[in-house]
Structure 1
Amino acid sequence: MEAALARPGLPGIVERGEAAFQAAQRERRRATLLWGAMLLVCALVAARVSEFYPETLAAGLPRIGEYLWRTLPSFRAEVFFSDWETDGSFAAWMYRADKWLWLIFETSQMALLGTLFGTAISCALCFLAARNLSPAPWVYHVTRRFLEFCRTVPEIVFALIFVWAFGVGPLAGILAIIIHTAGANGKLFAEVAENADTSAMEGVRAAGGNWLQRMRFGVLPMVLPNFLSYALLRFEINVRGASVLGFVGAGGIGEELYHVIAFNYYEEISAILVLIILTVACIDMLSERLRRGLAAEMPRGAAA
C-alpha cells in the first residue's frame, strides 16, 4: 500500500532532477563559451602585440624552405664513398668531423658538469623551499625567490656576464648552466618533497633527530628516485642549451655553429646539425633507459 502511494510522486522527482541536470548543463555551456571567448580575445591581443600575422608567416615560410634547401649536401652517387678532397662525397661533407666531434664532446661535458653541480645545489635548497618542510616561513620565501631568479634569467644572459668576467671559454657556459639548473631543478625537487610521505620524518623526529637529520633520513630516501629522474631530464635539456651558449663565446660546438652560420657555409651547417642531433638522440636514449630503471626501483625505494 505505501509503495503504491509513493509511486505517483516519482515522476515529479524525476522531472525535477532532469530539470536541475539540464540547468547545470546550460550553466556549464555558458561558462565554457565565456571562457572560450576570453581565451580567443587574449590570443588575438597576443598575436597583435607580437606581430604574429598570417600574411607574414605565409611570406616567410618559403624562405625557410629555401634556406634549408641550401644547407643540404650536394652528394653525387658515383663519388659518394670517395675521399674528403672529392666534391660530392660524404667525406667531403664531414671533412671537419674530428674537430666538430671534439667540440660536441666538450659541449656534453659542459652540460654534465653544469647538471651535476646545479643539481647538487638544488638538492640542498629544495627542502628549504618546500612549504611544509622549511624551518621558517621567511626561509621558505627567500629560498623560493632565489630559485625563481636563477631559472627566470636566461642562461645566455648569465653566459654573457661570465664571458665578460672570466673570458671566452667553456667555464662561462658551465657556470651559466649551474645557475639555471639550480633554479629549475630546485622548483621541481621542492614540489616533490612537499608531496612526499612524512611518516618516516615524524619517526626521525620522535627519535630526537634535528631538522637536518629529518630531511636526510626521513625525506631524502623517499624522493631520491624522482630527483635522479629529473636530473637526467635536465641533463638532456642542458646538452641542447650548451649548444646555444657557444654563440656568445661560452665554449662548445655553438661557437663553430655560429661561425658557419655567420659566413653562410651552408653545407657545414647541416653537417654540424646532424652531428648534434645524433648526439642528443644517443643521450636521450641512454637517459630514457636510466629513467626506466629508476622508475622500476622507485616502489622499492619508497617502501624503504
Structure 2
Amino acid sequence: MALDTFMQHLANGISLGSLYALIAIGYTMVYGILKLINFAHGDIFMMAAYFAFFGVATFNLPWYFAFIIAIVLTGILGMTIEFTAYRPLRSAPKISILISAIGVSFLLENLAVVLFGGRPKAFPTPSIFTDVVVIGGVSIQNLTFIIPIVTIVILFALLHLVNKTNVGMAMRAVSKDVETAKLMGIKVNRIISFTFAIGSMLAAVGAMMWSAKYPQIVALMGMIPGLKCFIAAVIGGIGDIKGAVIGGFILGIGEIMLVAFLPGLTGYRDAFAFVLLIVILLFKPTGIMGKNLTEKV
C-alpha cells in the first residue's frame, strides 16, 4: 500500500515537473540568446490559455484545432513583444530592458483583466485528458502520461534544432557574440525573433497542459508558475535547455513529495521553490548544468 502511495505521488510529481520544464525551456532559450530574463513569460503563458479557452468556448472549434491556433497566436505575441518592447532597448543598459520586461508583464496582466474579466473561467478540458487508467493500486489520468511525453519529444526536437540545423548554428553564434554574428552575415534580428516565437510557443504548450490539469484560468494565473519556472531554469542552469528540463523535474517532484510526506508543510509549498533557489545560488550559482561565464562589461 505504501509503495502504491509513493508511486501515485511520483507520477504526479513527474507530471508537474514536466509542466515546469516546458515553461522553463522558454525562459532559458531567451536568456541563452539575449542574456535577458523575460519576466513577461508567465503572462504569455496566461494569454495562451485564454486564446485556447475562447477558441473552444466561444468559436466552438475542436479542442485540437483551438490548441494549434492558440500556440501560433502566442508565438506571434512573443515576436510582437520582442519587436516593440525589447528590440529598441537592445543597446541600452541591461537594467532598462529588465524594467521593460516587468512593464510588459504588468501590461499583459491588466489587459487580460480588462478584456477577459477578473472572474475565473472553467477551462474546457477534453475527455481524452481526464480519463483515468488504473495500474495496480495507482490511478493515473491520461494527462499524467501525456505531459512527460510531450516534454521529452519537445526536448529532443529542440536539441536537434539547436545542434543540427543552420538556424540552430545561427542561434548559438548569436548567443556567443552578437556583433561577430552580424559580421558573418547572420540576420540577428530574425534569429532573436525566431527564438522568442519558439519560447512563447513552448509557454503556450505548457499553458494547454496546465489548464487541462488545473481547469481554471484567471488573468493572474501566470505569476506563480512563471516564477517557479524561472527558478527551475536557474536550478538547472539558465541558458541550458537540458538543465531547464532537469530543474523542472527536480522542482515538480520535490513539491509533490514535500506535500505528500510532510502534510503539515502544505501551506509552504510555494516557499519550497524559493528556499531551493537560495540553496542553489549559495552552493552552485550557475545551476546544475550551468557553466562559469565572465560577463562582458
TM-score, normalised via structure 1 length: 0.28
Which structure has the greater CA radius of gyration? 1
TM-score, normalised via structure 2 length: 0.28
Q: Which structure: greater strand fraction? A: 2
Higher relative contact order (CA 8 A, sep 6+): 2
